[in-house]
Structures are given as structure tokens and as C-alpha cells.
């Protein structure tokens, strides 16, 4: 099921005339069109059902009305767009994206006024922090919901999303479904694209949390200043009641000093923050620390891997405590969470080396996680990495360089090329990896074979990491899509390979298409950069 079809259920009777009055526009079409009853608002022609209003949004490649005939065939009775439909009664608005969020919130009786919504935004850590918040809410006795890039989940119901934050109509429908199912509070991951595209308009957040900001998505936002401004726009009184800000991040410190709503700061190093972590210890099985809060201290024992999860957990705890939730209950909740799909998630298939799948897709994420992974082994760190297409091309070479600075073996492969030439994507990552002059670098375009190569090279005590896609299970090459689950594929390959001999370093060198040095084992350092 795609996220556009989430939580469909009849709503209170709303007519075309009611929607026209809300939008302050007139119905273009038959004189009696205003009396038509609407079942739902939908912005994806593929999931329309009889009685739906079709919100036809202009996009970069297609206009929603390019699919108006499909909408009619599916049973749509109204179009809402910036131009008239030739086959449906239409409500014309200047900017459909600008109105669909508030319209959908009104249509579904403003569900964010009935369900406390905890938002999380930032470059890295959004998904993990949202999962931590949901776990803390559940431990405090709340009936919970979760809307993240990894999954959308409520009571006895869940689905795999197609984007980090749903489109506005889907978001409001999902929140309304949560309310009907008794959800009292939920966590929502909020991407910068969602903010800029106004998908979260119409949602009133109980708390909005900021994790960090680093170089990413500049293909979309243009500059870091514009990227920061997009994130910062969520921290105003018309968006949220409470701001929660990680001040370990320089952009976070700047944000915290300029918010116009009650603001809680958090940190893993600064005891002057409202909530901070002390006595932090990270091991191969998780992390432990003491959360110091205005309501007292609480011990936290994270089962999720990586020092970055301490920061994410502290942001989540601060969001919960700012809402009045007991810190002990919140700490128990985040400690109970065993794993987050695609976020430093181990693969256990009986192998004698450590295997991990992680979303790590930018240099900030690499510099946070790779030093920790180096500490897990005195042997080799093997890293499978690539670059997705239709993204900021300036990320590619640094991605390869940082990967090869920390890893002993880097296997460069395809992720989702989208409309870009995959050979060019690999070329740029390979160029960065060669520049590091540290790792043995191999090019293998086929992702399955790249994972096989990594597994065959792994020896007892090594750490093997497949990076970049995390919980994403779809490979996209132009208009073609295929299913590929990194975690499941890696588990299958390891299971098949157990007991077989992997290639020697010389064999690897013959297979590699680009090599700088062979099996250099010295660590480049473990401090956070």
C-alpha cells in the first residue's frame, strides 16, 4: 500500500459547495455540482475512489490534470487546481499546494487539535528521534502513532511510506485516522522538502524538535542559508507550541537564540542546556548515559547502535519532558527500543563478523558513525557505498573521500540513479575515494554483486557496512523501479556464504577497477570531526 491511501474512511458529510466556501472560490462546471457530496480529498490519481475530490497539483514534470481522465475513471467528482479541468467540475485556486494542507485539515476536522503531534526536523537523525519519541510516549501510557520515513504505524495498522513526510492530504487523513483509533499522541518526521512544499501546513505541532543541519539537499534549496531558513520556519507560534533544539549543532544554537515560542535546549556536552547527557559510554551493544533534566535525572541504556543515537535520544527525551512526561517513563521507552529499520541495524545470520545496514548518505553522517564503527574492530572496516541520482552532485566526491578515509575497503556501487547516468555517479564517488589514499577501492555497479563481494571479503572480526539506502526498498533507474531490501539481501547473502572461502586480497585487487592501496589497516582516528 502506498502512503497516499493511508487510513481511508468516510468523513463527515462535506459538499462541493462547502469546499468552495472554504476556499472562497466558485465552482466551474454544472450548476448542480455544488450539491455533490465528497468522500475524501486525494492528491494522487492512482488511489482515487468514487466520490473523491482530486487535488491536481502542478509538478516539475507533470501537472496533476494530465491525469484527469484517470481521475474520472476512478470516480472523482471534483478537481481542485490552478486551471479548469476539461472533464470535472473545478475549484480554481492560485496555488494548490498552498491550500491543500489547511483544506485537508479542515476537511478532516483539524485532527492535530485532537492528537498531540511531536515533529522532528533536521538533516540527520529525524527518523531515529521520531521512533524514540513514539517509544517514550508508549512507555508513558499514551496510545501512539508514528509517521516516519521508515514506517507509518498506528493501533493495529501500518504501512511502508513512499516519502519521508506524506503529502498534505495524506498527512491529515492519517492524523484523522489516528484520532478515530484512539491515538492520543504521535511523532512525525518533517523533511525540508515537506516544509517547502507545504505538506505540513494545517498541522499544529505540540512540539517541534531540531536535530542538526549539515550540507545536504542543496540541489533543492540552493544554499545553506535557504536550507536553514526552511527548517527555522517551523519554530514559530503558528506552527508549534514548544521548540526543542539541539544546541550542540551550530545551526541549532543559532536557532535557539531566535525562536519566538517557549524553547527547550538539549545537549550531549553542555550542562547549561535544559536537558543534557552525562557519563556517556558507547559500546558495541549500545550506549548508556544519564539524562539530567529539570524534573530530575534518569538512566538511559540504548540498545540502538552508535554515538549519534545518544544525541537523537536526548532530543527525543527533551521533547517528551517539555510536554510534561515523566523522565523515568520517557527514559524507559527510549531504552526499550531495540532497533530502527535501516538505522545502524545489525544483520544477524550466524556470521563471525559484524554486518550493519545504515542510511548514512552524507558526510556528516559518515563522520559521526564511521569512527564508532572503526572502534568496533581491530581488523578491517568494509564499506559498500554509492550516490543516489537527482541529488546535489557536490556531495558525491566528499562522500567517497570520507568513506575511504575511515574504511579499509570501499566498494562503490549503484544506489538509485534516478535520471542520472549511474557511471557518472560512480565515477565521482570513486574519484573522492581515490583521493583519500587510504582504502582499497573497488567498483561494482550491480548492487547485489557488490554485497556478495563485501561478504566474501569479510573475515572474523571485521565490520561490514552497507550504507546509503537504509530502509528504502526501491531501486529507481529512470522510470524503472525494482524491489531491493539491503538488510534482507545482506542476510540472504551471508547465509548462503557461511562456510565458503572468500577471495584473497590479490583476487580482490584483480576484480577491483580502481585501487589506491591494499588492506591499509591503520585507523584514521576516532574523534568526531
DSSP sequence for 292-332 = EETTEEEEEEE-S-STHHHHHHHHHHHHHHHTT--HHHHHH
Whole-number pLDDT of residue 499: 60
CATH number of 345-511: 3.90.190.20
**In this predicted model, what pLDDT tens digit does every residue of 427-445 receive, in sequence order?**
999 999 999 888 999 999 9
Confirm or reject CATH 3.40.50.1360 for domain 111-336, answering yes or no: no
Q: Kindly state the cell numbers that stand for 12.
A: 463527515
Residue 432 labeled ligand binder: no
Q: Residue 513 pLDDT > 80, yes or no?
A: no
Compute how many other C-beta atoms are within 10 angstroms of the C-beta atom of residue 528: 10
DSSP strand E in 308-408: where? 345-346, 354-358, 381-385
Tell me which of 3.40.1390.10, 3.40.50.1100, 3.30.70.2190, 3.30.930.10 is the CATH number of domain 3-96: 3.40.1390.10
Q: What is the share, in percent, of the chain residues with pLDDT greater than 70?
A: 91
Phi-psi category of residue 225: left, alpha or beta, with phi > 0 → left and psi -120 to 50 → alpha: alpha
Q: Residue 10 pLDDT > 60, yes or no?
A: no
Q: Residue 514 pLDDT > 70, yes or no?
A: no
Residue 199 labeled ligand binder: yes
Q: For residues 10 and 362, which has the higher predicted lDDT (pLDDT)?
A: 362
Q: Kindly state the cell numbers that stand for 383.
A: 564499506
pLDDT (average), residues 467-495: 89
What's 467's DSSP letter?
Answer: E
Whole-number pLDDT of residue 367: 87
If residue 489 lies in a helix (H) or strand (E), which one and from where to where? helix 486-497
Domain ranges of the chain: 3-96, 111-336, 345-511
CA dihedral 485→490→491→493, nearest 10 degrees, is 120
Q: For residues 359 and 291, which has the higher predicted lDDT (pLDDT)?
A: 291
Residue 45 labeled ligand binder: yes
Q: Residue 186 pLDDT > 60, yes or no?
A: yes
In sequence order, what are the residues at sequence separation of 6 or more whose Cβ sits closer than 8 angstroms to the Cβ of residue 73? none
Q: Residue 1 pLDDT > 80, yes or no?
A: no
Whole-number pLDDT of residue 217: 66
Whole-number pLDDT of residue 169: 94
Residue 267 labeled ligand binder: no
- For residues 14 and 70, is the Cβ–Cβ distance under 8 A? no
Whole-number pLDDT of residue 524: 27
Residue 124 labeled ligand binder: yes
Residue 335 labeled ligand binder: no
Whole-number pLDDT of residue 344: 84
Q: Give the span between the Cα atoms of 104 and 107, in whole angstroms.
A: 5
What's 50's DSSP letter?
Answer: T
Residue 165 labeled ligand binder: yes
Q: Residue 60 pLDDT > 60, yes or no?
A: yes
SS3 of residue 491 by DSSP: helix
pLDDT (average), residues 446-458: 95
**In this predicted model, what pLDDT tens digit does every residue of 79-102 receive, in sequence order?**
999 999 999 999 999 999 999 999
Residue 126 labeled ligand binder: yes
Q: Residue 421 pLDDT > 50, yes or no?
A: yes
Mean residue pLDDT of the chain comes to 88
Residue 191 labeled ligand binder: yes
pLDDT (average), residues 239-249: 97
| Secondary structure (DSSP) of 99-167 | HHHHHHHHHTT-GGGTSEEEEEESSSSHHHHHHHHHHHHHHTT--EEEE-SS-EEETTEEE--SSSS--
What's 181's DSSP letter?
Answer: T
- Binned at pLDDT 50, 70 and 90, residue 229 comes out as very high
Whole-number pLDDT of residue 32: 87
- For residues 35 and 60, is the Cβ–Cβ distance under 8 A? no
pLDDT (average), residues 136-156: 93
pLDDT (average), residues 125-145: 95
Dihedral pair phi/psi, residue 288, rounded to 5°: -135, 150
Residue 85 labeled ligand binder: no
Q: For residues 214 and 188, which has the higher predicted lDDT (pLDDT)?
A: 188
In sequence order, what are the residues at sequence separation of 6 or more whose Cβ sits closer than 8 angstroms to the Cβ of residue 373? 356, 381, 406, 463, 465
- Binned at pLDDT 50, 70 and 90, residue 53 comes out as very high
Residue 128 labeled ligand binder: yes
Q: 134 vs 145, 146, 263, 316, 331, CA distance in Å?
A: 7, 6, 21, 9, 12
Residue 304 labeled ligand binder: no
Q: Residue 503 pLDDT > 60, yes or no?
A: no
Whole-number pLDDT of residue 182: 96
Whole-number pLDDT of residue 504: 46
Whole-number pLDDT of residue 214: 85
- Binned at pLDDT 50, 70 and 90, residue 529 comes out as very low
- Binned at pLDDT 50, 70 and 90, residue 12 comes out as low
- Binned at pLDDT 50, 70 and 90, residue 283 comes out as confident
Residue 459 labeled ligand binder: no
pLDDT (average), residues 177-197: 95
- Binned at pLDDT 50, 70 and 90, residue 507 comes out as very low
Whole-number pLDDT of residue 509: 46
pLDDT (average), residues 269-279: 96
pLDDT (average), residues 183-208: 95
Amino acid at each position: 500500500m502506498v502512503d497516499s491511501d493511508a487510513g481511508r474512511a468516510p468523513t463527515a458529510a462535506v459538499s462541493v459547495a462547502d469546499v468552495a466556501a472554504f476556499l472562497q472560490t466558485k465552482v466551474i462546471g454544472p450548476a448542480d455540482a455544488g450539491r455533490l457530496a465528497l468522500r475524501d480529498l486525494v492528491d494522487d490519481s492512482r488511489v482515487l475512489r468514487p466520490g473523491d475530490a482530486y487535488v491536481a497539483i502542478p509538478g516539475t514534470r507533470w501537472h496533476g490534470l494530465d491525469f484527469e481522465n484517470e481521475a474520472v475513471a476512478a470516480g472523482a467528482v471534483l478537481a481542485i487546481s490552478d486551471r479548469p479541468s476539461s472533464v470535472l467540475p473545478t475549484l480554481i485556486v492560485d496555488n494548490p499546494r498552498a491550500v491543500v494542507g489547511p483544506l485537508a485539515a479542515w476537511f478532516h476536522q483539524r485532527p492535530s487539535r485532537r492528537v498531540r503531534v511531536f515533529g522532528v526536523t533536521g538533516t540527520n537523525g529525524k527518523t531515529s528521534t521520531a521512533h524514540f519519541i513514539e517509544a517514550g510516549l508508549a512507555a508513558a501510557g499514551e496510545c501512539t502513532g508514528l509517521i516516519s520515513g521508515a514506517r507509518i504505524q498506528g493501533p493495529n495498522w501500518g504501512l511502508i511510506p513512499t516519502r519521508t513526510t506524506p503529502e498534505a492530504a495524506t498527512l491529515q487523513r492519517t492524523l484523522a485516522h489516528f484520532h478515530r483509533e484512539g491515538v492520543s499522541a504521535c511523532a512525525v518526521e518533517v523533511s525540508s522538502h515537506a516544509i517547502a512544499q507545504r505538506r505540513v501546513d494545517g498541522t499544529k505541532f505540540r512540539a517541534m524538535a531540531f536535530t542538526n543541519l549539515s550540507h545536504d539537499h542543496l540541489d533543492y534549496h540552493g544554499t545553506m542559508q535557504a536550507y536553514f531558513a526552511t527548517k527555522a520556519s517551523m519554530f514559530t507560534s503558528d506552527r508549534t507550541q514548544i521548540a526543542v533544539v539541539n544546541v550542540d549543532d551550530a545551526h541549532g544554537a543559532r536557532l535557539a537564540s531566535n525562536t519566538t515560542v517557549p524553547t527547550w535546549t538539549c545537549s550531549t556536552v553542555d550542562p547549561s542546556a535544559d536537558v543534557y547527557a552525562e557519563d556517556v559510554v558507547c559500546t558495541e551493544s549500545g550506549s548508556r548515559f544519564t539524562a539530567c533534566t529539570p524534573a530530575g535525572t534518569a538512566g538511559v541504556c540504548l540498545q540502538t547502535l552508535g554515538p549519534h543515537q545518544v544525541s537523537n535520544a536526548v532530543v527525543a527525551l527533551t521533547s517528551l519532558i517539555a510536554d510534561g512526561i515523566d523522565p523515568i517513563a520517557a527514559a524507559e521507552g527510549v531504552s526499550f527500543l531495540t532497533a530502527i529499520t535501516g538505522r545502524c541495524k545489525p544483520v544477524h545470520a550466524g556470521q563471525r563478523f559484524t554486518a550493519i545496514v545504515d542510511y548514512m548518505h552524507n558526510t556528516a553522517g559518515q563522520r559521526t558513525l564511521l569512527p564508532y564503527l572503526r572502534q568496533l574492530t581491530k581488523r578491517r572496516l568494509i564499506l559498500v557505498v554509492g550516490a543516489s541520482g537527482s541529488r546535489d552532485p557536490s556531495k558525491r566526491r566528499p562522500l567517497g573521500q570520507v568513506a575511504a578515509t575511515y574504511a579499509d575497503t570501499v566498494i562503490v556501487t549503484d544506489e538509485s540513479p534516478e535520471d542520472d547516468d549511474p557511471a557518472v555517479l560512480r565515477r565521482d564517488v570513486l574519484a573522492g575515494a581515490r583521493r583519500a589514499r587510504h582504502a582499497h577501492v573497488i567498483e561494482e555497479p550491480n548492487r547485489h554483486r557488490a554485497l556478495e563481494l563485501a561478504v566474501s571479503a569479510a573475515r572474523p572480526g571485521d565490520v561490514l557496512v552497507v550504507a546509503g539506502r537504509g530502509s528504502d526498498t526501491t531501486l529507481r533507474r529512470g522510470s524503472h523501479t525494482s524491489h531491493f531490501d539491503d538488510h534482507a539481501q545482506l542476510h540472504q547473502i551471508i547465509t548462503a556464504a557461511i562456510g565458503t572461502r572468500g577471495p584473497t586480497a590479490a583476487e580482490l585487487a584483480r576484480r577491483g577497477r580502481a585501487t589506491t592501496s591494499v588492506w591499509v589497516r591503520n585507523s584514521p582516528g576516532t574523534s568526531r570531526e
